[in-house]
Amino acid sequence: MEKRLTKSQLMAAMAEAWGVSKKEAEEHYMALVDLLYKEIKRSGEVMLPGLGKMAKKHRNARVGRNPMTGEQIQIPAKTVLKFTVNKAAKDSLL
Give the model's pLDDT for residue 1. Answer: 76
Spans of all domains in the chain: 1-43, 45-94
pLDDT band at 78 (very low <50, low <70, confident <90, very high): very high
C-alpha to C-alpha distance for 86 and 50, rounded to whole angstroms: 7
Options 3.40.30.10, 4.10.520.10, 2.40.128.110, 3.40.50.720; CATH of 45-94: 4.10.520.10
39: nearest Cα among 58, 57, 56, 25 = 56
Q: How far is CA 72 from the centre of its chain?
A: 31
> How many Cα atoms sit within 13 Å of 48 on the Cβ side?
16
Residues in the chain: 94
Does the structure show a pLDDT above 90 at 93? Answer: no
18: nearest Cα among 8, 31, 6, 10 = 10
